[in-house]
Chain A
Amino acid sequence: MDAIILQILNGLDKGSAYALIALGLTLIFGTLGVVNFAHGALFMIGAFCAVTLSRILTLSHTVIDETQKDFLGNPLKVDVPYIYDIFGQATGDAIIDWAVPISILFAIPVMVGIGFAMERGLIKHFYKRPHADQILVTFGLAIVLQEIIKYFYGANPIPTPAPDAFRGSFDFGAMLGFDPNTIIYPYWRLVYFAFAAVIIGAVFAFLQFTTFGMVVRAGMADRETVGLLGINIDKRFTIMFGIAAAVAGLAGVMYTPINSPNYHMGMDFLVLSFVVVVVGGMGSLSGAVLAGFLLGILESFASMAIVLETLPGINQIIIYLVAIIILLTRPRGLMGRKGVMEE
C-alpha cells in the first residue's frame, strides 16, 4: 500500500509537467490549429530563464584574496556579487537563494515576448499549410533554439537549486500511520504540484470567466462566425500563443530544482507531451490535463522494481502502450471532440 501511495505521489509531479506542457500545446492547437513541435523548447527556455536570472543575481566583481592560492599558485580571485554591495551579504544571499521563485516574474514577460515573436515571425506563415509542414518547421525551430542555448550555456546540466526552505523531504508515511521513511516526498515537488494546479486553474478560469476567454472559446469552436461578428480573433489567438508559451516557460522555471536544466530537456518532454495531448484528445484542455497526470502516474508505477522484475523494459514503453490501447478503444482520445483533426 505504501509503495502504491508513493508512486502516485511521484506521478503527480511528473504528471504536472506533462499537463502544463500539454495544456500549452492544446491551447495553440485549439486556437491556431498549429501542431507546435517547438513547445518543448519553450519549456527549456523557461528553465534557462531561471538560470539566466541566477547568473544576473550573482554577477560579481573580483577581489584578490592574498591568503589563498588558485590552482596555478597565484593569489585567489574571489567573486563578490554586486548584490552584496547593494543589499548587504545576508539579504543578498537570501535573494540569490530565492532565485528560482523570483524567476517567475522574469520569465513571464520573456516567454510572452518569445511567444509573440515566434507566432508573428514564423508560425503565422504556416497556418494554411499542411500539418506536416507545421511539424517540420516547428521541429526545426526547436533544434535551432536548443543549439543556441547550448552555444551560450554549454552542454552540461547547470545546478539551479530550490530555496533552502524547500530542500529536503516530507515524511507522508509517518503522517498516514505507516513506518517512518516509507513514504517520503521532496518539499519542492509538492510545491511544483501545487504550482501546476494553480496555473492550470488560472488558465481554465481565464478562459471560462473572462470576456476575452469567452471570445477565444467561441473562436476555437467556430472561428469564421466569430470573425463575421467583427471580432479580430487572430489578435486574440496570438495573445493565446503568448500565454501558452508563458505556461510552458513557467513549467520549465519551476522544474529547474527537480532536474538541473540542460539544452536537451525540452526534447525529453516533447514527445511524451504529444502523446499526452493525443491520449487526452486533440483540442481538449481538460483531456490534456487528465492525460498528463494519468500517464505520469502510470510511468511511475512502471518503474517499480517489482513491476520491472515481472515485465522488464515496461517502464520505457508503458506510455506508448497505453496510448495505443486508448486510441484503439477511443480513437478521439479520452476527451476528444468530434471533427478535430478528422478531416
Chain B
Amino acid sequence: MSNSKLTRRGLIKTGAVAGAAGLTLPTYLRADAHAGYLNAPQGDTVTLGFNVPQSGPYADEGADELRAYELAVEHLNGGGDGGMMNTFTSKALQGNGILGKKVEYVTGDTQTKSDAARASAKSMIEKDGAVMITGGSSSGVAVAVQALCQEAGVIFMAGLTHSNDTTGKDRRANGFRHFFNSYMSGAALAPVLKNAYGSDRKAYHLTADYNWGYTTEEAVKSSTEAMGWETVAAVKTPLTQTDFSSYIAPVLQSGADTLVLNHYGGNMVNSLTNAVQFGLRDKQVNGKDFQIIVPLYSRLMAKGAGANVKGIFGSTNWHWSLTDEGSKAFVQSFGTKYGFPPSQAAHTCYVQALLYADACERAGTFNPCGVVEALEGFEFDGMGNGKTLYRADDHQCFKDVLVVKGKENPTSEFDLLEIVEVTPVEQVTYAPDHPQFAGGSLGTCNPGA
C-alpha cells in the first residue's frame, strides 16, 4: 500500500524541478534522444572541436594544427581554392559544409597534458556541443582524449600521435588515426639504414621515458636487429631532461657505433645538439663512421636543432616537398594563406578533418556509429600519401611512409629535410594482432545517446 498523495501543486513543483534540471544538464547528459546520438547538430550548423596544444612546449606545432583546421573549415564551407578537396578521390564533399550544415568550430588547449586535454575536450563536448574532437601533438594526450570520446560517444580523429598504443592496446571504436606509428617508422627505416650503414652495427638507444618512447624503441630495435644490428644498450631518459651530456658521454665507451635517439620535441633538439657537441659524428668506432638516427622527424623540431640535423636519417608522415597532386594542392592553399609551407602535423590534421566530413556525407549522418562504418575499410587517394586504407581492424591508416634525411644545404628555414625514400605501404603493413599492438580491442562504437 502506498502512502503517496500526488497533489496538483506537488505535480507542478516536481515538473518544474525536473524541467530546470533538464535545462541545466550538460549537453552530454541530455542527448537528443530522437536523433539517437550525442550532440546531434541543431539548426543549420555543425560544431567540431579542435583540441590542440596552444600553450606549453608544443604550442608552435599546435598553432600549425589550428591553421590547418581553419583552412579545412574554409574549404568545407566552400571558401578558398578547395585545397585537397579537388584531389581527394571521394567526391562526396561539395563545399557546402557537411550534410548541408555550415561547419563551425571551437578550440581547446591540450597544454600537452592528458588531464588538461581531457578537460578541454569534455568542455567542448558538453558545453559547446561538439560532435567530433580532433587534434593533439602527443600520444599520451591522444590515448587519454580517445578514451574520453569513446565514453562520451563522439568521434575522435587523432592528430599527431606516433605511439603504437593509440591504435594498439589503447585503440577505441570511436577513434581513428591517420598519422603513421612507431612500427611503421622502424619498418621503413631499417632497409634504408642497411643500405647506408650496412648490417653490422652496434646501436645504443636513448629513449624518452614514456609511452611513445617505449614503443618507438621496441619498433626500431626489432627492425634493426632483424637485419643484423646488435643493440648494445637502451637507456631511458627523463622526459624533463634538458641536458643529455651525462647520457651521451658513455655512448662511445659502450662500443656502440650508432646512436638512436628515441626522442621527440625539445628532448630531440637537446639530445641531438648534445650528441653533435660531443663530436660523436666525427668519431670512428669499430672501423666505421659513428652515426646518429632520429626515428621520428618533425620539420618544426628539426628547425630547433639547426645544422645538427644535417645528414641524419629519420622518418616522417608527410613533407611539403612531395610532388603528388594532393600535396601540391595543400601546400598551395596553406602557403598562400599563411606564407610558409605546412608541417606534417598540419597535414594530418587537415586530412583528418576532411576525412571526417567525407565520412559523414557518405554515411548521410553525423551519428558516430554511421561515421565509424563509413571510415572502416575506406580506401582513398589524393591526400598526399598515395593510396591509403583506413583499416577496419584497428582504425589505423595504412599508406606510404617517408624516410628523410637532414638536408646538407638548405635553401630556406623550411628546407631542412630531404626525402630519401618513399617506403611503399606493403613494407610497413602488419597484422592486426602483431605483438607490438597486442592487448587492445576496439569494442563497439558509442553514439552517446
Residues of chain A touching chain B, judged by Cβ–Cβ distance below 8 Å, are: 2-3, 6-7, 9-11, 13-14, 68, 70-72, 76, 150, 154-159, 161, 167-169, 181-182, 184-186, 188-189, 257-260, 262, 264-265, 268, 299-301, 303-305, 308, 315-316
5 A-B residue contacts at CB 8 Å? A72-B331, A156-B300, A157-B266, A184-B283, A260-B306
In whole angstroms, how far apart are the Cα atoms of A300 and B285 in the complex? 24
* Nearest CB of chain B from residue A251's CB, rounded to whole Å: 13
User: Of the candidates B59, B236, B245, B414, which one forms a contact with A189 in the assembled complex, judged by CB atoms under 8 Å apart?
Assistant: B245
Contact status A258-B277, CB under 8 Å: yes
In whole angstroms, how far apart are the Cα atoms of A182 and B253 in the complex? 5
Contact status B266-A10, CB under 8 Å: no
Q: Which segment, of B20-28, B76-84, B211-219, B267-275, faces chain A?
A: B267-275
User: Of the candidates A70, A159, A161, which one forms a contact with B304 in the assembled complex, judged by CB atoms under 8 Å apart?
Assistant: A159
User: Of the candidates B60, B242, B250, which one forms a contact with A265 in the assembled complex, judged by CB atoms under 8 Å apart?
Assistant: B242
* Nearest CB of chain A from residue B419's CB, rounded to whole Å: 14
- In this assembly, does B210 line the interface, its C-beta being within 8 Å of a C-beta of chain A? no
* Nearest CB of chain A from residue B286's CB, rounded to whole Å: 11
Q: Known interface pairs A10-B245, A155-B58, A188-B277. Does A181 touch B283 (Cβ–Cβ under 8 Å)?
A: yes
- In this assembly, does B181 line the interface, its C-beta being within 8 Å of a C-beta of chain A? no
**In the assembled complex, which residues on chain B have CB atoms less than 8 Å from the CB atom of A260?**
269-270, 273, 304-306
Q: Known interface pairs A188-B277, A260-B306. Does A72 touch B335 (Cβ–Cβ under 8 Å)?
A: yes
* Nearest CB of chain B from residue A255's CB, rounded to whole Å: 9
Contact status A156-B304, CB under 8 Å: yes
Q: Known interface pairs A76-B411, A260-B269, A305-B235. Does A6 touch B277 (Cβ–Cβ under 8 Å)?
A: no
- In this assembly, does B4 line the interface, its C-beta being within 8 Å of a C-beta of chain A? no
Select from chain A the residue with minimum beta-carbon distance to B306.
Answer: A159
Contact status A3-B341, CB under 8 Å: no
In whole angstroms, how far apart are the Cα atoms of A9 and B254 in the complex? 18
B residues 55-97 touching A (CB-CB < 8 Å): 55-60
Select from chain B the residue with minimum beta-carbon distance to A169.
Answer: B279
Contact status B253-A3, CB under 8 Å: yes
- Other than the given A156-B304, A259-B242, A300-B246, 10 more pairs (CB < 8 A) read A71-B415, A154-B60, A155-B60, A157-B266, A159-B305, A169-B277, A259-B273, A260-B273, A304-B246, A305-B254
- In this assembly, does B307 line the interface, its C-beta being within 8 Å of a C-beta of chain A? yes
Q: Known interface pairs A150-B59, A157-B304, A265-B242. Does A181 touch B252 (Cβ–Cβ under 8 Å)?
A: yes
* Nearest CB of chain B from residue A290's CB, rounded to whole Å: 20
* Nearest CB of chain A from residue B331's CB, rounded to whole Å: 6
- In this assembly, does B320 line the interface, its C-beta being within 8 Å of a C-beta of chain A? yes
B residues 202-251 touching A (CB-CB < 8 Å): 233, 235-236, 238, 240, 242-243, 245-247, 249-250
- In this assembly, does B301 line the interface, its C-beta being within 8 Å of a C-beta of chain A? yes
Contact status B269-A157, CB under 8 Å: yes
Contact status A72-B283, CB under 8 Å: no
User: Of the candidates A13, A168, A264, which one forms a contact with B57 in the assembled complex, judged by CB atoms under 8 Å apart?
Assistant: A264
Contact status B245-A71, CB under 8 Å: no
Contact status B306-A161, CB under 8 Å: yes
Select from chain A the residue with minimum beta-carbon distance to B253.
Answer: A182
- In this assembly, does B282 line the interface, its C-beta being within 8 Å of a C-beta of chain A? yes
- In this assembly, does B308 line the interface, its C-beta being within 8 Å of a C-beta of chain A? yes
User: Of the candidates B59, B277, B336, which one forms a contact with A167 in the assembled complex, judged by CB atoms under 8 Å apart?
Assistant: B277
* Nearest CB of chain B from residue A193's CB, rounded to whole Å: 12
Q: Known interface pairs A14-B243, A304-B246. Does A158 touch B335 (Cβ–Cβ under 8 Å)?
A: no
**In the assembled complex, which residues on chain B have CB atoms less than 8 Å from the CB atom of A6?**
249-250, 253
**In the assembled complex, which residues on chain B have CB atoms less than 8 Å from the CB atom of A257?**
277
User: Of the candidates A3, A184, A268, A299, which one forms a contact with B278 in the assembled complex, judged by CB atoms under 8 Å apart?
Assistant: A184
Max count, chain B CB within 10 A of own CB: residue among A71, A182, A258: A71
**In the assembled complex, which residues on chain B have CB atoms less than 8 Å from the CB atom of A150?**
59
User: Of the candidates B59, B243, B246, B249, which one forms a contact with A258 in the assembled complex, judged by CB atoms under 8 Å apart?
Assistant: B243
Contact status B307-A159, CB under 8 Å: yes
User: Of the candidates B60, B238, B250, B283, which one forms a contact with A304 in the assembled complex, judged by CB atoms under 8 Å apart?
Assistant: B250
Contact status A299-B253, CB under 8 Å: no
**In the assembled complex, which residues on chain A have CB atoms less than 8 Å from the CB atom of B282?**
168-169
In whole angstroms, how far apart are the Cα atoms of A290 and B335 in the complex? 54
User: Of the candidates A13, A185, A268, which one forms a contact with B242 in the assembled complex, judged by CB atoms under 8 Å apart?
Assistant: A268
**In the assembled complex, which residues on chain A have CB atoms less than 8 Å from the CB atom of B362?**
none
In whole angstroms, how far apart are the Cα atoms of A262 and B59 in the complex? 12
The 9 closest A-B pairs by CB, nearest first: A159-B306, A169-B279, A303-B246, A155-B59, A157-B304, A300-B246, A186-B277, A181-B252, A71-B341
Contact status B60-A156, CB under 8 Å: yes
In whole angstroms, how far apart are the Cα atoms of A69 and B304 in the complex? 24
**In the assembled complex, which residues on chain A have CB atoms less than 8 Å from the CB atom of B249?**
6-7, 9-10, 184-185
In whole angstroms, how far apart are the Cα atoms of A68 and B253 in the complex? 45
Binary contact track B291-317/A, C-beta < 8 Å → 1, others 0: 000000000110111111000000000
**In the assembled complex, which residues on chain A have CB atoms less than 8 Å from the CB atom of B55?**
155
In whole angstroms, how far apart are the Cα atoms of A300 and B187 in the complex? 35
Contact status A259-B331, CB under 8 Å: no
Q: Known interface pairs A76-B411, A260-B270. Does A155 touch B56 (Cβ–Cβ under 8 Å)?
A: yes
**In the assembled complex, which residues on chain A have CB atoms less than 8 Å from the CB atom of B306?**
159, 161, 260
- In this assembly, does B123 line the interface, its C-beta being within 8 Å of a C-beta of chain A? no
Select from chain B the residue with minimum beta-carbon distance to A162.
Answer: B277
In whole angstroms, how far apart are the Cα atoms of A182 and B254 in the complex? 9
Contact status A262-B57, CB under 8 Å: yes
**In the assembled complex, which residues on chain A have CB atoms less than 8 Å from the CB atom of B233?**
305
Contact status A181-B331, CB under 8 Å: no
User: Of the candidates B57, B238, B250, B335, which one forms a contact with A305 in the assembled complex, judged by CB atoms under 8 Å apart?
Assistant: B250
**In the assembled complex, which residues on chain A have CB atoms less than 8 Å from the CB atom of B42?**
none
**In the assembled complex, which residues on chain B have CB atoms less than 8 Å from the CB atom of A305?**
233, 235, 250, 254
* Nearest CB of chain B from residue A5's CB, rounded to whole Å: 10
Q: Known interface pairs A258-B277, A305-B233. Does A155 touch B57 (Cβ–Cβ under 8 Å)?
A: yes
Contact status A189-B277, CB under 8 Å: yes
**In the assembled complex, which residues on chain B have CB atoms less than 8 Å from the CB atom of A301?**
246
Contact status B320-A71, CB under 8 Å: yes
**In the assembled complex, which residues on chain A have CB atoms less than 8 Å from the CB atom of B320?**
71
- In this assembly, does B412 line the interface, its C-beta being within 8 Å of a C-beta of chain A? yes
**In the assembled complex, which residues on chain A have CB atoms less than 8 Å from the CB atom of B436?**
none
Contact status B335-A71, CB under 8 Å: yes
**In the assembled complex, which residues on chain A have CB atoms less than 8 Å from the CB atom of B301?**
156
Contact status B270-A259, CB under 8 Å: yes
Max count, chain B CB within 10 A of own CB: residue among A13, A150, A184: A184
- In this assembly, does B199 line the interface, its C-beta being within 8 Å of a C-beta of chain A? no
**In the assembled complex, which residues on chain B have CB atoms less than 8 Å from the CB atom of A259?**
242-243, 270, 273-274
**In the assembled complex, which residues on chain A have CB atoms less than 8 Å from the CB atom of B56?**
155
- In this assembly, does B332 line the interface, its C-beta being within 8 Å of a C-beta of chain A? yes
In whole angstroms, how far apart are the Cα atoms of A10 and B241 in the complex? 15
**In the assembled complex, which residues on chain B have CB atoms less than 8 Å from the CB atom of A264?**
57
* Nearest CB of chain A from residue B206's CB, rounded to whole Å: 10
* Nearest CB of chain B from residue A272's CB, rounded to whole Å: 10
User: Of the candidates A3, A14, A158, which one forms a contact with B250 in the assembled complex, judged by CB atoms under 8 Å apart?
Assistant: A3
B residues 151-203 touching A (CB-CB < 8 Å): none
* Nearest CB of chain A from residue B258's CB, rounded to whole Å: 14
* Nearest CB of chain B from residue A256's CB, rounded to whole Å: 10
Contact status B266-A14, CB under 8 Å: no
In whole angstroms, how far apart are the Cα atoms of A7 and B249 in the complex? 8
Select from chain B the residue with minimum beta-carbon distance to A158.
Answer: B304
